[in-house]
Structure 1
Amino acid sequence: MGALPPSLVDVLRASRERRGALLSDARTTAFRVLNGEADGVPEVTADVFGGLYVISLYRDLTSAEEETLLDAAVAAWAPRSVYLKRRPREARVLANVAKEALAPETAARGEPVESLTALENGLSFLIRPGQGLSVGLYLDMRDTRVWLKDEVRGRTVLNLFSYTCAFGVVATGGGATRALNIDASRRVLDWGEENARLNGQPVDRYDYVAGDVFDWLKRLAKKGEAFDVVVSDPPSFSTTRTARFSAARDYAKLAEAAARVVAPGGRLVACCNHAGLPMRRFEAMVAEGLALAGRQGRAVRSLGPSPLDFPSPPGQEPALKVHVVELR
């Protein structure tokens, strides 16, 4: 990609201003202010959490280019602080050996922030900007969380690959009778418990389960447990002690396992954020998984990121795909 645009301050200022109603919504303080090519700065994104900005680089910039970008961000946005995340294509490989280079714990500009509370549609989420490449909340799922909250009153919810349990918090806030969160990492589940407490929600440790999702889906199916809504939001790639997962290769297998624990009349919320997997192919993989589980499904909703803060370049579909299927 080419160099940063010469009028970078103007580009960044205009990008933020295009967020329109989000800028004045007191119930939502977390959203994307720069979305790469669609906002004029290819392979660079920026998310805001209150006065904190997190800039992510998906290409290598020189030190001088990084400084120029950071200075422009300060001039355009007047942030409390800015944190920088470097996400080269090989970041998954490097993350274990060069974490500090990829995700510095210290602020690149402004004051250090150990943690802060951000709002999304009136719910509170704990953000930790120096804790790695991910800071606690995936903002492209905001519209899906809005939809979920309206669907779950009186229902049970299973939240797979739960990370910091945002879907669980939203489900409980929407009146779900139970939200069971499963993730491989106990650390992020503890973070999820903190999010629940931030919102005045009760915490039952039995609903925050650390372990391999596929193993737990087998256990739940064997015990005959079923849920009214199952949210499946895996990383595009993951490795545990016992298995490797690739969404582009393995999503049908995941959909099969998840479908086995969806109650009759319940819904599978299948999510994928792999830019290289087209929506039609993704939907076909979900259908394949349902067939393998011996279930029939009816597509009821397609969701994705809000075009207000996650615009796509002309002719490109968003990386995030959410396919909601009702199962018989």
Structure 2
Amino acid sequence: MSPARVPLAQSFRAARERRGPLLTEPRTTALRWVNGAPDGVPDVTVDAFADVLVMSLYRDFAPSEEQALLDAAVEAWAPRSLYLKRRPREARVLANTSREALAPEVPARGAPVEALEALENGVRFLIRPAQGLSVGLYLDMRETRAWLMGQVKGLTVLNLFSYTCAFGVVATAGGARRALNIDTSRRVLDWGEENARLNGQPVDRYDYVAGDVFDWLGRLAKKGQAFDVVISDPPSFSTTRTTRFSAARDYPQLAEAAARLVTPGGRLVACCNLSTLTGRRFEAMVAEGVARAGRQGRPVHSLGPSPVDFPASPEAPPGLKVNVLQLR
């Protein structure tokens, strides 16, 4: 063992140990073991799904550095499998790099795992660690999903940019009367249906809608439909055949369209994970959109990632911002 690897493995062990309260929670097997600089390992995160780990690199590491990180992770934790994701921050680098180079389908260490089940607060989710850069569940939303589950009994929920429909599954588990999921990708919606069935929930194809979110917001408004809870969790940047969305520029437009579909007294759950957007600026953008819709919004809750497995520091503040507004 080279001396250079010992401190890294120790950092990994210490980071996991700091997750103590979550490690002993049998109803949750999906959590973040390393969260970059606050855990002493800048530009590196490690997400654990039971005994399968996903390591993400947020800068261009040299091959020798990558190998040292992987070896240290195996030394510290001895996982069944360890998958590697390379996530350069610059869009041009992402655009010019093959998917296989960014997210190899074979594990960097251990045996291949096509799919596995992970638990979050007793709810089951299907994880596909070799699928791409995103493996099925965004762990920083765990606190928001837990909050939602206790708020929606008997209510209707609209889940925008639903990805694998985690919010919809959790809402149904919490007793929601209906959860409508909208995403541009039919593939991830099918994955969402799998998640629902995994939890013994009925699946109605009409509640898994593939299409442009802005287009569907307009259609639903024209039909006069409204929902008790509308969840808006867009990617920071996205492009469809008809729209281009940037959270830093277009969130007021999204908040306006979403607010039009909230029932009087209902809630808008506005989410953003763009780290360069400050919490104060995000609040102002959401308020601007709500006002444009002719609605009045009262902030009732502010959420974010769990400080247990998503520790922050002044140099690395939390990226996720979740604002809950009650609308009149």
- Shorter-chain TM-score bucket reads over 0.9
**Structure-1 residue corresponding to 2:39:** 39
Deviation at 1:78, TM superposition (A): 1.1
Change (3 A) 1:48 1:91: farther
Size of the aligned set, in residue pairs, is 325
Q: Is the 8 A contact 1:95 1:102 kept in 2?
A: no
**Structure-2 residue corresponding to 1:211:** 211
Q: What does 1:243-322 align with in structure 2 at a 5 Å threshold?
A: 243-314=243-314, 316-322=316-322
**Uncovered stretches (5+) of structure 1, i.e. residues with no partner:** none
Work out the CA distance in 2 between the residues paired with 1:107 and 1:97: 19
SS at match of 1:308: coil
Deviation at 1:20, TM superposition (A): 1.1
- Which digits, 9 at most, give the CA deviation of each residue in 1:133-191, with x for residues without a partner? 00000000000000000000000000000000000000000000000000000000000
Deviation at 1:30, TM superposition (A): 0.2
SS at match of 1:248: helix
Q: What does 1:1-328 align with in structure 2 at a 5 Å threshold?
A: 7-91=7-91, 94=94, 98-314=98-314, 316-328=316-328
Q: Is the 8 A contact 2:6 2:72 kept in 1?
A: no
Change (3 A) 1:107 1:49: same
Work out the CA distance in 1 between the residues paired with 2:278 and 2:6: 34
SS at match of 2:28: coil
| Aligned Cα root-mean-square deviation (Å) | 1.2
Deviation at 1:315, TM superposition (A): 5.8
SS at match of 1:162: coil
Work out the CA distance in 2 between the residues paired with 1:93 and 1:70: 23
Deviation at 1:121, TM superposition (A): 0.4
Work out the CA distance in 2 between the residues paired with 1:29 and 1:147: 18
Deviation at 1:314, TM superposition (A): 3.0
SS at match of 2:12: helix
Work out the CA distance in 1 between the residues paired with 2:96 and 2:139: 24
Work out the CA distance in 2 between the residues paired with 1:291 and 1:262: 13
Change (3 A) 1:92 1:139: farther
Work out the CA distance in 2 between the residues paired with 1:32 and 1:120: 12
Q: Is the 8 A contact 2:256 2:291 kept in 1?
A: yes
Change (3 A) 1:181 1:96: farther
- Taking structure 1 as the reference length, the TM-score comes to 0.97
Deviation at 1:106, TM superposition (A): 0.4
Work out the CA distance in 2 between the residues paired with 1:295 and 1:30: 38
Q: Is the 8 A contact 1:5 1:41 kept in 2?
A: no
Q: Is the 8 A contact 1:115 1:126 kept in 2?
A: yes
Deviation at 1:241, TM superposition (A): 1.1
Deviation at 1:94, TM superposition (A): 2.9
Deviation at 1:192, TM superposition (A): 0.1
Work out the CA distance in 2 between the residues paired with 1:287 and 1:64: 48
Work out the CA distance in 2 between the residues paired with 1:92 and 1:286: 29
Q: Is the 8 A contact 2:37 2:316 kept in 1?
A: no
More deviation, 278-287/90-99: 90-99
Structure 1 stretches of 4+ with a deviation exceeding 6 A read none
Q: Is the 8 A contact 2:88 2:94 kept in 1?
A: no
Work out the CA distance in 1 between the residues paired with 2:95 and 2:130: 14
Work out the CA distance in 2 between the residues paired with 1:21 and 1:133: 28
Deviation at 1:317, TM superposition (A): 3.0
Work out the CA distance in 2 between the residues paired with 1:256 and 1:90: 29
- Which digits, 9 at most, give the CA deviation of each residue in 1:244-300, with x for residues without a partner? 100010000000000000000000000000000000000000000011000001000
- Given residue 296 of structure 2, which amino acid in structure 1 is its aligned partner? Q
SS at match of 1:225: coil
**Uncovered stretches (5+) of structure 2, i.e. residues with no partner:** none
Q: Is the 8 A contact 2:268 2:325 kept in 1?
A: yes
Identity among equivalent positions (%) equals 75
SS at match of 1:7: helix
Work out the CA distance in 1 between the residues paired with 2:105 and 2:96: 15
Q: Is the 8 A contact 2:38 2:316 kept in 1?
A: no
Change (3 A) 1:91 1:82: farther
Q: Is the 8 A contact 2:5 2:68 kept in 1?
A: no
Work out the CA distance in 1 between the residues paired with 2:283 and 2:81: 40
